[in-house]
Amino acid sequence: MTASCEKSAEKEPPKSGAKELLSITFFKINNSILEEDIMASKSGSTFKANFSQGKILRNLSAVLNISKGAKLIYKQTEYDTQDGEVTVHGDFTAKVEFSVVAEDGTQAKYSLTSVSEPFSSEKSILSFVVRSQENHSIGKDLVGTISGNTIRLTVPSGTESSLKAEIKISQDAKIFDGENKAVESSIPYPFSSVYQADGNEVRSKIKIEAQDKSFQEYQVIVNTEKGKPTDTFEHSGPTKLSSIFFKTGMEAEIAYFTSPIYITFQYDAQGRIKKIRYYLYLDKDGKNYYSYVGADIYTYKTSSVDIKKLSIFYDFQDYGNLTSELGTNGYPKNLRYLSSTEGNTFYSNFHYNSAGNLIRQEGKGSMFDAGSVFEDLTGVPFDVKYEYKNGNLVKSGTSIYSYFTDRESNDGWAQGLVALGTDARNGIYYVHMGKTSKNLLKQIYDSEDDTSIDFSYKFDGNNRVNEMRVTTTLNDHWGTAEKPAIVEFNYPK
């Protein structure tokens, strides 16, 4: 070899063996489906790109940074680069491989796995519960039975409201009502007790949309129990009432409710009245059924009780609140009412004797008809005094009261907190605040009108009053004699 040849060979620079795949990035600007840039993680010769859920990876652009001077081989295509950046396009659904070829011809192989979890296809109703706390026409939570795509629910007799069902569904799914409107997890479900008279089921549809937009349709079938409305009486005790039925209200002449009234009582763990529910006993084509029309909800505090009043006449919304301070004897010192709809007010102060009997009631306004409806008489003052003898109310105004002295009163269930009353053939039956009279009422005689109202009773096997019959010498406004009123008392089984 000549000297000149040796000199030429020495001047050739050595070829690089660098063949590193440094990074792989999917830039948002190059891929319209992305909300942000995605950089693949690297572990040795393996890369992994994590995309958000539900991304379609079939047509993406990726930017690869490799060693300067090296070449990239992707899907049998060779990419030359001097600055080390290469852009490739393709389907990244499955694992892909790259080869990086160094200047000296040596190669290194790399792989990329791209992951985007598919949208969930889960679209199940996991539970269907109607909570009594949100649905005042029921006394306890009702749980629907789910079988396939059918949900069955049985509601108590008399239930009539837009029930709210608490529905638990598959994660990331949505609920749609029968009109394909997305709703929250707690949805209103309409049900009318008129179907009880017809003996029909109430059916509706609910759709569940999965994350992948697929649907599952459920059918909700609601049946009603037959017979009288029931409630939860586990805290009531044998002397507490479960219900009162004013059976002859349909013939009432001046009563606010012209149909028979059925009233149920629910008690808390301390045996105190928690809820009073009111139902009408109605007729449809010769078939009778009960229809919920409202409730009184009692909330007890240290020295007071609040009573929220709900009514069908105000779309089952809160239409008034009663607040009563309690005295040291446990009976109300006063009662304040404010109507939520009309601003009507009522107030009354109560005064008791040492035995706890109500001896005076004074204030403004009027409260009538089962203690659940108020009249706008806020400008009319009243001051009523009550006289007692041997533990019984004997006189109030022109009214004189007499009793069956061998029979004890049936009104202890009211706990001195409930003012409950009805008029005319619904049954002249009033429970006043404070301690009730000791004995069963026999007659109310009005000395001014020379009229009387007489009471007779029937008893159950435990010597409890289970029926009261009321007759009167009064005539209705047509001049015909009043018919007897019948009031039924029921106790927990």
| Residue 92 shares a structural domain with residue 176 | no
Report if residue 60 sits inside a domain: yes
CB burial class (10 A; 0-12, 13-18, 19+) of residue 249?
buried
pLDDT at 27 over 60: yes
Q: Is the model more confident about 23 or about 361?
A: 23
Domain boundary among 162, 190, 224: 224
Q: What is the pTM of this model?
A: 0.70
What percent of the chain lies above the pLDDT cut of 90?
A: 34
| Residue 248 shares a structural domain with residue 323 | yes
Q: Considering its fold, how many domains does the chain have in total? A: 3
| Residue 211 shares a structural domain with residue 249 | no
Q: Which helix (H) or strand (E) holds 379?
A: none
Report if residue 418 sits inside a domain: yes
Report if residue 234 sits inside a domain: no
User: CB neighbours of 264 closer than 8 A, spacing ≥ 6?
Assistant: 139, 229, 230, 231, 242, 243, 276, 277, 279
Q: From CA 355, how far away is CA 435, in angstroms rounded? A: 8
pLDDT at 112 over 90: yes
Say if residues 264 and 137 touch (Cβ distance below 8 Å): no
Which residue has tokens 């789910």? 146
Tens-digit pLDDT profile for residues 127-182: 999 888 888 888 889 999 999 999 998 888 887 666 788 888 998 888 876 556 66
381-385 and 373-375 strand pairing: unpaired
Domain boundary among 62, 84, 115: 115
Q: From CA 414, how far away is CA 356, in angstroms rounded? A: 14
Tokens matching residue 33: 């489906």
Tokens matching residue 426: 């619904």
State residue 442's pLDDT score: 93
Report if residue 293 sits inside a domain: yes
State residue 347's pLDDT score: 78
State residue 459's pLDDT score: 93
| Residue 134 shares a structural domain with residue 269 | no
pLDDT at 421 over 60: no
- Most confidently modeled of 15-29, 81-95, 135-149? 15-29
Q: Which helix (H) or strand (E) holds 191?
A: strand 186-191
| Residue 387 shares a structural domain with residue 480 | yes
State residue 374's pLDDT score: 40
Say if residues 317 and 310 touch (Cβ distance below 8 Å): yes
| Residue 196 shares a structural domain with residue 133 | yes
Judged by phi (left if over 0) then psi (alpha if -120 to 50, else beta), residue 247 lies in: alpha
| Residue 61 shares a structural domain with residue 145 | no
- Tell me the residue range of the domain where 406 lies: 243-490
Q: Is the model more confident about 269 or about 94?
A: 94
Reduce the DSSP state of residue 427 to 3 states and report it: coil
Q: Considering only CA atoms, which of 104, 116, 66 is closest in space to residue 88?
A: 66
| Residue 304 shares a structural domain with residue 381 | yes
E strands, 376-447, in order = 381-385, 387-389, 392-396, 399-408, 420-422, 429-431, 439-446
Task: Supply φ then ψ for residue 10, to 5 degrees.
Answer: -70, -25
Q: Is the model more confident about 248 or about 355?
A: 355
Q: Is the model more confident about 453 or about 368?
A: 453
User: Poorest-confidence range of 33-42, 309-318, 347-356, 441-450?
Assistant: 309-318
User: Poorest-confidence range of 158-162, 251-255, 287-291, 419-423?
Assistant: 251-255
| Residue 429 shares a structural domain with residue 293 | yes
Report if residue 427 sits inside a domain: yes
Report if residue 5 sits inside a domain: no
Report if residue 4 sits inside a domain: no
Domain boundary among 190, 224, 258: 224
Which residue has tokens 């044998």? 238
Report if residue 1 sits inside a domain: no
Q: Check which CATH number belongs to the domain holding 479 and give it.
A: 2.40.160.190
| Residue 200 shares a structural domain with residue 262 | no
State residue 8's pLDDT score: 53
Q: Considering only CA atoms, which of 358, 420, 339, 347 is closest in space to residue 382?
A: 347
State residue 380's pLDDT score: 72
Tens-digit pLDDT profile for residues 43-79: 999 999 999 988 999 999 999 999 998 999 999 999 9
Q: Check which CATH number belongs to the domain holding 57 and give it.
A: 2.60.40.2340
| Residue 469 shares a structural domain with residue 391 | yes
| Residue 428 shares a structural domain with residue 377 | yes
